[in-house]
Structure 1
Amino acid sequence: MSDWKPSILVVDDEKTFRSAVLDLLQDVGFVCADADSDEAALDCLAKQHYNIVFTDLRMPGIDGLALLREIKKIDESIIVVFITSHTSIDSTIEALRLGAYDYLIKPLEDIELILAMIHRITDKILLEAEKKSLLKNLQEKNRDLDESRQKIIQYSVDISALYTAEKEMLSGLDLEEVYQRSVAHISRLVGFKPALLWVFDKSRTKLVLKSHCRLGDLDEKSLSLEFPQVISRVSGDLKQALISKVTQGTALFHPVQGHQSFYGVLSILNLKRRPFSRRQKEMMTRFSFSVAVAIENAQLYHEVKTLGTRDALTGLFNRRHFEDIFKSELLRGARHHHPVSLIFFDVDYFKKYNDAHGHLMGDVVLRKLAELVQSRVRDTDIVCRYSGEEFIIVLPYTTKLDAKQLAEDIRQSVAAYKFPYGEQQPDGAVTISFGISESPLDGIGSEIVVKSADDALYRAKEMGRNCVC
């Protein structure tokens, strides 16, 4: 879906402007059409769906705001962008209130601003589609689980207890909480036996003991080291051993395997070395699948949540999350009378780097830069990708002086790192420039503090770049 391109309708009574925009869009492969009036535009929309509509705010006939209302009646998902030479604060606010995505002012200094706008809109459309897909997947899994529950409820009192345990465990979507609840519930379901949960590490080559309960005097360290060996000795093959479930009456193992993957092993111990009953084995079999579904749900929830707050390229927080968290940090700082500093920085001559070596290499630089910065900040600091090659660090409980010291440390670290083709940059290396601000020293509101840091960054650029200001 990464090659997908939106269909575009350009509405403007100026033929020259329409032709210029159409030529630009068609040259890069967009499916597009044009209309010279509101009536022609509505006729086009009645015949074919368009993802994006660029329209003038004022044309003969109904005005752009009325056209916007009509478009939203046809399809709420159509993204409308105004391009106009007649603009005012009131009309702009009203357009955005009615659902316009953004606006551009004619004459455009660079007509390729339209392409930049389309790329942002395309990212938004794809992001929403991905979120809907993930949410749909989550809903489908929950429906599958509900169907399984209905079958289980029809059985005995034991099955009713199993349902109650599942319901409580699945009420939370925190992964660590799922781990803890899984061992607590299986222990109760099989008669308060010691229970353990191993989960594969990221490499999927090693089982790690994630949670346990009722071990008593048993040594947790020895269990974490020895029990995977016990599992492997049940038969020659580890996975086959897990599927076989049972050892000779001392421990019961079951794979935690769901719709998507094999996550690990759930185990109960019988310290009296008595054989496990059929009831205990059935409980183990049924409950292990529920644990897998709970893990899948928690992971899907985390993916959906991350998708809304993280930048896909660098893994850093995105601008939307920054705006939310920064306001909260400023309020907290004001409440507790402590400073909050902001570091605003970007990559020097980044456009030249991209032009010379391509955007893929530029992405490599941005990803590595994010890693270098993350390695230098505290756990309480918040690093965000603001836009393009611009980044922001929020520093709670930090003065401007301390923020400058951190920025200088990052600056030196980045300048010393051997980025690909860095020696071909104007300064002989990939470098960054910094602007620092502090609240309440430089202002109280979030916009004021960001502007203060942005102004400082501008001064750093004027001072020759690769410096902290």
Structure 2
Amino acid sequence: MSARVLVVDDVLPNVKLLAAKLTREYFDVITAYNGPEALELVHRESPDIVLLDVMMPGMDGFEVCEKIRSNPATMHIPVVMVTALSDVTDRVRGLEAGADDFLTKPVNDIALFARVRSLVRLKMMMDEWRLRESTSGQFGVIERTATLHSESHERARVLVLEDSVLDFEKIADTLRRDSDEVVCADTGARALERAMTEEFELVVVSLTLLNEDGLRFCSQLRSHERTRQVPILLVVDEGDLNRVAKGLELGANDYVIKPIDRNELLARVRTQIRRKRYQERLRSNYEQSLSMALTDSLTGVFNRRYVNAHLPRLLERALDSHKPVSVLMFDIDHFKVVNDTHGHDVGDVVLKEVANRASRNLRTFDLVARLGGEEFVVILPDTDGDAAMIVAERLRSRISDSVFPVPNSNDELRVTVSIGVSVGGQLGDTADTLIKRADEALYQAKRQGRNCVVSDDRTEDMRVAAAPTR
């Protein structure tokens, strides 16, 4: 996963060592040596995550973190404090200042990289929800959501998978300070049954279970649509960082190390509950706006109006983050023949199924829209030309390789699409030019015989330039 990481430390060797490790893991690293410089880079470079030392002269890491969190433009950037301080009160203070995690030097590389990747994935998802809400808000159909830290954290329902009665009671007693309702399950099967039938805002999973693997339960939660977005907090033994890293890769959101400090547990739980409620509020506003103004009534995907408002914002963000945006333009080959032969009702069924197949084969934060008639567009944030061509070819095959049933008939239709690809994100790119280039590539695909994928000339030149030489 590519991401821009800001490393902040007043000790030059520390910065160089951490930057070298991150660069070897293919992260894009920028550096700062004091608090004011860090805040300037946060505003100017829009990093995906900040690794922040605490003990710095003038402005310490706690103050830097608080300033990042107090600014609406930067408050959603993940912050991990990396410091020699190891006292639990310092860890709690960092979490209460808004840090997402608090790692003690010398930092375990496995835990660090897993934490960075986990938080960057979360930021990408949250950025997309916030951007979609902002796009929807400009139509005047919803009000903007309050900030993350204005969300309440009290009276949450929490499910705890723990087979130690003493450990469960300690967790439950701590969470009840916020009047939380805490439900215990002593096996993964019982926990999964409750998670699938009841609503929880957090699941706490012990990795010290005697007779089963808590990580398997985490993977089960993430594999079900109902529980996919519920935050997971791991409880682990000190030194078990390899399993922590695996848990974060599986989709866990945070972890706390035994022996559990009550204040640290409470701080981490509050962060996860606030984030869950904030995300749900974003999702609710977003879905409300779609039903009112921004979707195509036939297929349920976005409409041209939404694309015209959303794509320029994506390009602005791409210019700031130096990450490309790709556009796929496609339409159904010989669609007029379908309508003329089988009628417009069957044509509508084909349009809806094409939209469904496109939506099912993309990431959650990618965007599918119907521009009109049989013409669709797919917008892929943070996607270069090579990746876009792979996605386009996969989409083409998903549509062409399976027949389309004809309602109230034994007939079946073979439907194909032609796809044009363009990539933007550089100075001078606009939504209109990006769509026009993809449209020209689409027509080239039709001239080449249809049922194929073609990239525009500029995108192809970029792909050739980026290809490794032999």
TM-score, length basis structure 2:
0.38
Q: Which has the higher contact order (CA 8 A, sep 6+)?
A: 2
Larger radius of gyration: 1
TM-score of the superposed pair, with normalisation by structure 1: 0.38
